[in-house]
Amino acid sequence: MGTAKQSPLTNGMTSERPLLAESRRDALPMNEKRKSPNCPECGSDNVTRIIFGYPSEEMAKQSERGEIVLGGCVISDDDPQWHYNDCEHES
């Protein structure tokens, strides 16, 4: 009988299928900070992170405060991660 692989994203729990963060090479937990890139369109560094999935009450409050942008409930492998506030570009 084979053993299931442990993942650092599951805190030692085993899983037969990968978590979303494992399936997207660039996904980060919401509370992890990463330097956002400057906008490829206008060069601005006025950037907000886009979060996908069903929003919690706290996420809705963060969106109202402009701390995050809610990207919707449908998640795909090529969703944009950054919303550039000055020109509205997303990448």
Confidence (pLDDT) at 5: 44
Confidence (pLDDT) at 36: 80
Angle at 64 between CA 35 and CA 60, to 5 degrees: 90
Domain ranges of the chain: 37-91
Share of the chain above pLDDT 70, in %: 63
By the 8 A CB rule, do 42 and 91 touch?
Answer: no
pLDDT at 30 over 60: no
d(CA 48, CA 73): 18
